[in-house]
Amino acid sequence: MNYILRIILLSLFFAYFGCKTHQSHLNKIATKDFVFIEVENTQSNLNKWQIVKKGNLNYVKGASKETYLEFMGNKAITGKPNSPLEYKFTSPKTGNFKLMLMTSKRLEGVKSDWCNDAFVRLSGDYESASKLNTEDLQKDIKILQDGNDEVPELEWHWASTAEKDRHVYNEFIYKLKEGETYTLTLSGRSKRFSVDYIVLYDTDAFETKEAKKQFKIKK
């Protein structure tokens, strides 16, 4: 077999089965119990967000589909909501859904609690199911990596911690309605913060620890 043809066939083989592995992991979970969104799947202008793929400089290995977005606006420590990305989804059932982002930070020598957050807000017909009120959740609120400064850089970790007021932490939990369409808006806050994918899961179906394990894509 021609050498070049062999390389092409092998590349297609691994791409296909890599995708199948990714899909089969989620297929084991009841589809009504979660919403899964690849962060690069947005129609919004990326603006200060950059697409990072395997082989690119600073690529963090283990990303779902080997692609993710890194925010390159503002400063490493902080900034106002910048470069909003919109994601529309339909709730698969009525219930309380918790938001988590699979994320990574790239410090380049700055403090370990920098480069680790973004902003989120949700639009649509829902109520808050956490200590935050519904009006709060309709506005931009900081979401940061769980563990904050203890989280190593250049690895993938969950971000699900809400910080509306300084050092007052909460969760993003929404009481959604089956069949309703919602718009989640993700905006950049700190520079060199990356997001791979977005998950909203039914809190009646999963405890937090179990959800973090089940929805972490392993490659």
CA within 13 Å, CB half, 55: 1
Per-residue pLDDT tens over the stretch 165-194 = 888 899 999 999 999 999 999 999 999 999
Instruction: Name the domain count of the chain.
Output: 1
Q: Can you give the residue range of the structural domain that contains 102?
A: 32-214
Q: Taking 70 as the threshold, does the pLDDT of residue 128 lie above it?
A: yes
Q: Taking 80 as the threshold, does the pLDDT of residue 50 lie above it?
A: yes
Closest listed residue to residue 144, CA positions, set 78, 84, 208: 78
Collapsing DSSP states into helix, strand and coil, what is residue 78?
A: coil
Say if 12 falls within a structural domain. Answer: no
Say if 204 falls within a structural domain. Answer: yes
Say if 82 falls within a structural domain. Answer: yes
Per-residue pLDDT tens over the stretch 198-210 = 999 999 999 999 9
In the predicted model, what is the mean pLDDT of residues 26-33? Answer: 73
d(CA 195, CA 52): 10
Give the pLDDT of residue 90: 98
d(CA 5, CA 183): 44
Say if 17 falls within a structural domain. Answer: no
Say if 16 falls within a structural domain. Answer: no
CA within 13 Å, CB half, 149: 7
Give the pLDDT of residue 188: 99
CATH number at 43 reads: 2.60.120.260
Say if 151 falls within a structural domain. Answer: yes
Q: Which amino acid is at 14?
A: F
Q: How confident is the model at residue 219 (pLDDT cuts 50, 70, 90)?
A: low
Q: How confident is the model at residue 148 (pLDDT cuts 50, 70, 90)?
A: confident
Mean pLDDT, the chain, as a whole number?
90
Q: How confident is the model at residue 12 (pLDDT cuts 50, 70, 90)?
A: very low
Higher confidence at residue 14 or residue 118?
Answer: 118
Say if 179 falls within a structural domain. Answer: yes
Give the pLDDT of residue 13: 37
Residue percentage of the chain with pLDDT more than 70: 86
Tokens of 126: 């829902």
DSSP string, 167-218: TEEEE-EEEE-TT-EEEEEEEE-STTEEEEEEEEEETTT--HHHHHHHT---
In the predicted model, what is the mean pLDDT of residues 86-97? Answer: 98
Q: Classify residue 165 by burial, with Cβ atoms within 10 Å: 0-12, 13-18, 19+.
A: exposed
Residue percentage of the chain with pLDDT more than 90: 82
In the predicted model, what is the mean pLDDT of residues 213-217? Answer: 92
Give the pLDDT of residue 27: 56
Say if 182 falls within a structural domain. Answer: yes
Give the pLDDT of residue 217: 86
d(CA 79, CA 74): 5
